[in-house]
Amino acid sequence: MGPSGRDVTAGAAPAPGAAVAGAPEPAGATASISDNTIARLFAKLPGEVSYKIVAPATRRTAQVQVSSSNSGSRLFIGSAFKTFVLAEALRQADSPDVVRTITTQQLALDASVWSLDSATFNPPHVSGVVSERTALEAMILHSDNTGTDMSMKLVGTDKVRAFIASAGLHNTLIPDSTRSFVGYLLGAPDYLTFTWDQTVAAANDPMVNPPLNTEQTLASSADDLVTYYARALQGDFFEHPQTLNQYRAILSIGDVIWLLPLPLGVSAFAKGGSIDVPGFHAVCAAGGMVFDDVWVYFCFTINWDAAAESDPATIGAWAVASSQALQLVKDSLAT
């Protein structure tokens, strides 16, 4: 996500597939997956590759946990950060009537929120008002940046950051908006108030600041994202089951599920992100999948340098390795 960016695009009863205190050891042994087995899949990729896969133990299966040595490193994740916006938006609407609430809430669609890479809302050709639900779905399904900025404007970027901090995600950083991020990359001194007209006027300007920074960026670690999804997908951040259902429903339409792709036969919930600019590239896919009451949480991220504006060969190789890693884990845990 960004200039010329492209998305490859988150006292209670135990959750399905979760370990139960005092439960007997799994009756059937499962095939082991070693760190070396997964590491070999990514060995030939350039740059910095980070990954983590965790499948909590169940009554039938042993725990699986594999990760790269740098799974705690902060890397650029692109639009994968949008899962945090989705979670906070639903937390603010959390109730048995959450679907009606986000469907009734109307948001302005105009120059105040138009942003690049918005396949759904297609600025400046579409304007008016749309529901919060439509904006959230566009944000996840097509990684629409206008839908993202509409949602962030409604819930408040500071509220999203407070949620991230409360979840203990210390290596996660988000921008004030996707448009502010673009403005910062282009070196605009007023990037926090970067307008749509300024965005259009600067479309061909060179990038001044690196995508991975500490001011306006889209970054996290594999550890943070797996920890987050292991909680979010089980409802730890929501009070009502209807809100969890809506969170899962929106994440289940994430395009990264089919672009990666994830193994057939699973229910998957995920968000991806990427950026392609001359000299820097990144791809990330993170989320969870469930099959036979077994949950698997994952994150795969790669950041690398390449002079060209795009590097489809590396993206393809990363996608194959990530997909194969999840297939190996699924096969080892299948009935």
What phi and psi, each to the nearest 5 degrees, are found at residue 172?
A: -110, 130
The predicted pLDDT at position 294 comes to 96
Helical packing angle, 241-251 and 82-92, nearest 10°: 150
Please report, in tens digits, the pLDDT of each residue of the chain (335 residues total).
443 343 333 223 333 333 333 333 444 444 468 889 999 999 999 999 999 999 999 999 999 999 999 999 999 999 999 999 999 999 999 999 999 999 999 999 999 999 999 999 999 999 999 999 999 999 999 999 999 999 999 999 999 999 999 999 999 999 999 999 999 999 999 999 999 999 999 988 999 999 999 999 999 999 999 999 999 999 999 999 999 999 999 999 998 999 899 999 999 999 999 999 999 999 999 999 999 999 999 999 999 999 999 999 999 999 999 999 999 999 999 86
Which residue is listed with tokens 């120059």? 111
State residue 21's pLDDT score.
Answer: 33
- What the chain holds in terms of domains, given with CATH numbers, is 35-333 (3.40.710.10)
- The DSSP secondary structure of 106-148, one letter per residue, reads EEEESTTT--SS-TTTTTTT--EEEEHHHHHHHHHHS--HHHH
**pTM higher than the cut 0.85:** yes
Q: Which amino acid is at 280?
A: F
Which residues, 6 or more positions from 18, have their beta carbon under 8 angstroms from its beta carbon? 56, 58, 234, 295
Q: How far is CA 269 from CA 3, 226, 289, 296, in A?
A: 27, 12, 6, 10
Q: Which of 296, 246, 293 is nearest to 14 (CA)?
A: 293
Largest pairwise CA distance in the chain: 64
Among all chains, which residue has been given the structure tokens 């792709």? 261
Phi/psi at 104 (5° precision)? -75, -35
Residue type, 104: T
Give pLDDT tens digits for 102-113: 999 999 999 999
C-alpha 214: how far from chain center: 19
Question: What does the pLDDT read at residue 335?
Answer: 63
What span, in angstroms and rounded, lies between the C-alpha atoms of 56 and 295? 7
Distance CA 122, CA 119 (A): 5
Looking at the chain, the number of H-run helices and the number of E-run strands are 12, 9
Q: What pLDDT does 33 receive?
A: 81
122: left (phi over 0), alpha (psi -120 to 50) or beta: left
Is the distance from CB of 86 to CB of 250 less than 8 angstroms?
A: yes
pLDDT, residue 227, reads 98
Q: What is the DSSP letter of 173?
A: B
Q: Residue 323, SS3?
A: helix
CA–CA separation, 221 vs 170, rounded Å?
A: 9
One-letter amino acid at 257 equals I
